[in-house]
Amino acid sequence: MSKTNPLFYEITNKSTANKTVDILMYGAIPSWDQDTWKIKNTADKFVRDFKALEKEYDRINIRINSPGGSLYHGFPIFNAVINSKKEIHTYNDGLAASMGGLLLLAGKTVHSAQNGMLMIHNAMSWGGGNADQLREMAKVLDKYDELIANKLAKKTGMTKEEVMDSYLNYKDHYLTPEEALEEKFIDEIDDYEAEEAPPANIANMNHEEVMAFYRPKDEDKSFFNRVTEHVRKTLNLSSSHGAPKHPNPPAPPAKNQSPNSNQDHMDFKDSLELLNKGELTAEDIAAVKAEIQQFTGANERFTSDEVQAKVDDAVKPVQAQVDTLTNEKGTLETEVSNLKTEKDNLAKTVNDLKGEKTTLETENNGLKLDIEAYRKSGVKPTNTKGKDPEKIEGEESPENYFSETDKEVRNLRKQMGYPDKSEKAD
């Protein structure tokens, strides 16, 4: 499996004629991002790829050489594999430990190399928090243990209680192919030996050591080089490339030498050359330690003030950036506050205008009612000088208000000799 592959699996040996395909799972499940020390969530991609392979191939071989990984990411893979309707064969190509062991048992037929090792243990986690938070974490781990016990019981025919007592008792249980076959964890021991067999003393290693052993070597070197480069930049150290064939451990300084007399030569040149090799021998490590001892303990070349000064110089640029970002944050918060104030003022103005509009509408309706009452009264305003005011559209003419009673009154006045004021004089 390619070490540059960003996934924890590789699809290979596709045979359209035989309708078979292989999936290699060599390493942690899923893989880790060495820059951020976080799990790469590629389990969902595996499930999509696996579903696509099911459409094209009748037999899928999953070959495993893994120290395990994340149950959270591993169980979706387990479920996809164990529920497949295709012919799924899983192979232990060296080590199937922890989550890797569970995935091995997901195949319809489980195979093992003659030197393969199966390891089963309880669910594990790490983290921090208060007592209550850690108790909650323990409850989650207990639930995972029950899930694991059910899967193992279904595969072997044991009861869940038997599985818990024998294999989930907070110990790492390594099984040879013969032991795994006897306990019915696997179905067949194939006639081949794994090229990358687990170390002979693996049963004496804790799980963290096993995980480290199976981490790709180029990832270790890459991370180590990043640490070395960070130290070099922080302390303004120089280095030359190319490791010496026979490095000689530098001699300690003379007793009468001034503590700071060789400060300018403290560049760790030899040590950096050795570290850049990547593969270190015991002699290389001894040489590095010897050079470090020149500047530690009784041979200390820096005072505490000088060390603090170095630290301060390294911190200053970062602190300046933090201060700039803090100031920008304060400015943005002020602008946001001002915008909120303007928004509140505009909302108040809109409410005031709505109130004025309501008042004007009320006054307008009152005037309309006054005009309508005036029209119905037939009274002429005094400033018209006896003339009819300009006619208003919809207004009834005065004739409409002359009744029969008015006629009788007019005739009686004529009979009595009173002039009719409604008639115009000639």
Q: Is position 377 annotated as part of the catalytic site?
A: no
State the Cα–Cα distance between residues 176 and 182, nearest whole angstrom. 10
Handedness of CA 272, 274, 277, 278 (dihedral sign): negative
Q: Is 121 a catalytic residue?
A: yes
What per-residue string of b and e applies to 84-122 under the rule 16 or more CB within 10 Å gives b?
A: bebebbbbbbbbbbbbbbbbbbbbeebbbbebbbbbbbb
Name the catalytic one among 31, 66, 89, 98.
Answer: 98
Q: What sign for the dihedral angle of Cα 388, 391, 395, 399?
A: positive
CA distances from 337 to 190, 326, 327, 334, 342 (A): 73, 16, 15, 5, 9
d(CA 295, CA 268): 10
Residue 24, both tokens: 């290699």
Cβ contact 83:106 at 8 Å: no
Q: How far apart are CA 363 and CA 374, in angstroms?
A: 17
Among the listed residues 31, 73, 121, 271, the single catalytic one is 121
Partners of 12 in the β-ladder: 22
DSSP 275-312: HTTSS--HHHHHHHHHHHHTTSGGG--S-HHHHHHHHH
Place of tokens 């290699």: 24
Identity of residue 104: L
Residues 69, 147: Cα–Cα separation, whole Å: 16
Phi then psi dihedrals of residue 123, to 5 deg: -60, 145
Distance CA 272, CA 243 (A): 9
Residues annotated as catalytic are 98, 121
